Each structure stands twice: as structure tokens, then as C-alpha cells.
Chain A
């Protein structure tokens, strides 16, 4: 018993997520499409990793596998975190619930009591600076505000675990549908939230600039089948790294031209 406990503690220290040889095939026989082929990926607790790739590189598939919404065809996935939270490109708030209730829903599914739910939901809405509109319904909020409510809800679902396991947030192009200014603001908001909550984040995007600005590490995936092409450490994001990643991304895409 003690031994298992020790290994968990040990593993939580160095990796939050570990994918090894993950392969995903859609369909059967001749029409089968290999979406992911032998993807290895390690994410440390509290690390911000951006998955970068053109369309069809299976980055959303990869995220769904980590989220447990989809199963891998082969390979292994090890999570040393609490239940991962997911944020999609659309906020996908329940239109009949207020902002606060939407956040509370995540806590309700986790079995949190009513009062604690209310308090925690308000805390999280304050964190994304939406405490004032807690009683508004989604249709009364702007696109950026809705996405922030979705962020608060995602955080609610990942930080409830009592065992103190590190939190994990999976984001699937969450800002792609927003206008440039709002995206800019939300990116800085996300960085602030990340710094205060110490949550590991896997962020899927096709925008090199966004990946370099947000992530500590950028992982470039190839398309059809998705494989890890290269990784960059972008903690000190310089323009040379940006150009280098751009060049590689273009190479990956133009490889499909013929």
C-alpha cells in the first residue's frame, strides 16, 4: 500500500500525462484513415504545452483521447492528474442556465454540496473577472465572455479532486472563433489563470503565434497520419523560433501538395 502511494507521488512529480505509441485508426479495411501514428508525448505537472498542426493532423483526436472521450486504437495513456477538464472551440454553455449555474453544473457532477458549489462557482467566475455577470444567461453575454465562463466551468471540473492530484486542462482551439482583440485579451487572461492555478494545459491550435505566445513548449504534429515532427522550448519566445516553427509547419503542409 505504502509502496503504491510512493510511486504515485513520484510519478506526479515528473509527469502529469504520458502518451506512448498512441495510434488511432478511423474506419476499417481499405477506407481506414490513420489519424495518429505512434505519438509519444509527456507533459509535466503545471506545464503549458501547445499542440500545433494543420487541419487533419489529428490534434483534436489526440485531445479527445487524453480527455477520455475517445479511445486509442493502440498505445498507452497514463494520467497522473485529476479528471481532465476540456474546453472546446465553442463555449457550449447550457443555454437555460445562468453563468454561475453553468459553472456549478461541473461541481454538481462531481458531487459537491450546494453551498460549496455556489461559493466555488463565484470564486472561479471572479478569477475570469465575470463575478458581475454571474446571474446572466449565455445569450446575454458576448462571445468572449461565454468562452471565459466555459474556462471557469472547465477549471471547476478539474480542480475538485480531493487527493491533491495536479489538475489538467485540455483546450481545443478555444479562441479560434473569436475576433482578434478579444483573442488577445483572452490569451493574457488564460496565462494569468494558468500562473495562479498551476494547472497543466494541453492547448491545441493551428496558429503559430498563439502557440509561441502561450506555451512553454510547442509540439508540431504532421498531418495524415499525425506524428510528432519536432518540439521547441519557447519559454523565451523569440522571433527566430517563430520563423523556424512557421517554416517547419509550411514544410509539413506542402508535403501534401502532390
Chain B
């Protein structure tokens, strides 16, 4: 009645051979570029074309809608004098320091909210609520508390990004299949080992989404703070540059500033978060969206 074991072994080996996944063949570099690099370039060119056409139609006065080439010249001028770099540096280093501080505060906070029931009941909804509060609303209060100082700017940045990062971590932990920590217990993991080897890695996709959003919030909070809180003591960041452009009625400067702000946002996304996210998702076989 029973099949002899060596026959079954052969069946097993056959099953394995059939089950081994077929490795997807990677297309050549130029084809990948064609697929992912060309569409955004075309979209950008189209946008420029529409802009140029609108300008040429002269529907709006020059001080409202500048010619693309004038904005380009302003960009080239500020890069040529080195002004662009000092402005970018002022803003970027604030954003990066603020973001790192936010990560250091939000990570333990998120862990506490996710794992300690009392803490979640106490501040869970507050944390979610803070996420929908525009951080620019903190600027007037922060100026009254700290004056027009870097503290004001960092405070606004933190209020913007900490809730996002903490909420991302909470969501990431909430979405862990309950079987995984159970397996950890069955394997003899203590609380700390379980957090380090199971909870945190399992929550990584959600945490990463929170980090990404936290960065976006810290960048936009920084801009809001820099536009409102301007003083010689703070130096010139992108926000002040934008503010100056507006005060001087110089639309070229304003558009150039917006362009630079956007450039930083896209640059960080493409150079930091996109590759990180891809690596994390690919390792888990979640390649549907890639």
C-alpha cells in the first residue's frame, strides 16, 4: 500500500525542481532607461512647452508669469555666484539635523505607543491628530517662545515630522502578522530579542513609509518656518530666498526658489528613499509595485 521511500524521494526531488522559481531575466540598461527615465523627461518637456506657450500668449503680465528662460538665467546666476549652494546648504543641513533628531525622538515614542496599551490610549489619537495639524501653525507660538532663532525653526520641523515617523512605526507594528511574534516565543525569544529580531524588522516597511513621510513633513515645515521667521541672524535659506523674491516682486527669483525646493524633495526621494524602499520590498518579495 505504502509507496517505497526512495520513490517518494525522487518525487520530492522532482517537485523541488519544478518549484524552484524561474529567475526573471533582467532587461538591458538602455531598455530600463527607456522605460523609467524617458517618461519623466517627456513630461517635463511638455510642461516647459505649455509654460512657454502661455508666456508667449501674453495672457498674464510679465511680473506674474515669467519666461522660462528668465527663470533659468536667475538659476544660472545664483549658481554662478555660489549663492544657490550657500542657500541650499543652510536649508538642507537644518532639514537633515531636524530629521535625524525627529527619528531619534519618534522611534522610541512609536515603540511605546505601539506596545504599551496605556500610552496608546493616552496619546495615540493626539499623535494622529498632530499629523493633520499643519506645522506652520506652530510658527507664531514658537516665535513667541524662542524668538526668531534656530530653535524656532527646529521646533517647527520636529512638530512636523515626529508624528509622521511615530505613526508610521505604530502602523508598521500593528500590521505584523500575530503568528510571527508567536513563533519568536516558541523559539525562545525574550522580549528584547523579539523586538530586535522580529518586531522591528517586521515593521520595517511601515517604518520606512513613516520615515519618508516624516522627511517630507520636516522639509515642508522647514520651508514654512523659514518663510515666516526671517532675520539676518538665521542666514538665508531657501525659505528666506523665496521670501526675498516675493518682497522684491521678482517672480524669477520666486519660481527659481520653488524649483530648488522641489529639486531637493525629488533628489532625496530618488537618492535615498526610493532605493531603500526597493531593497526592503524586494527582499520580502513585494515587487508588485516596482
A residues with a Cβ closer than 8 A to B are: 67, 69, 83, 85-86, 88, 90, 92, 94-96, 105-106, 108-110, 129, 133, 137-142, 144-145, 153, 157, 181-182, 184-185, 188-189, 191-192, 213, 239
Contacts and interface: CB of A to CB of B under 8 A. Distances in A.
Contacts of B93: none
B285 A184 contact: no
B290 to A, nearest CB: 13
B204 A144 contact: no
22 contacts: A67-B186, A92-B182, A92-B183, A96-B201, A96-B204, A96-B280, A105-B197, A106-B187, A109-B187, A109-B189, A129-B12, A133-B20, A140-B21, A141-B19, A141-B21, A142-B19, A145-B16, A185-B8, A188-B12, A192-B5, A213-B2, A239-B1
B284 A139 contact: yes
Nearest to B9: A188
A185 B283 contact: no
A139 B284 CA distance: 7
B193 interface: yes
Interface of B: 1-3, 5, 8-9, 11-13, 15-16, 19-21, 177, 179-180, 182-190, 193, 197-198, 201-202, 204, 280, 283-285
B172 to A, nearest CB: 13
B285 A95 contact: yes
A189 B193 CA distance: 32
Nearest to B185: A69
A71 to B, nearest CB: 13
Instruction: Give the top 3 A-B pairs by smallest Cβ distance, nearest first.
Output: A139-B285, A142-B19, A86-B186
B186 A138 contact: no
Given A96-B280, A188-B12, 18 more contacts: A69-B186, A90-B179, A92-B179, A92-B182, A92-B183, A108-B193, A108-B197, A109-B189, A129-B12, A139-B285, A141-B19, A142-B19, A153-B187, A157-B187, A185-B11, A188-B5, A189-B12, A192-B5
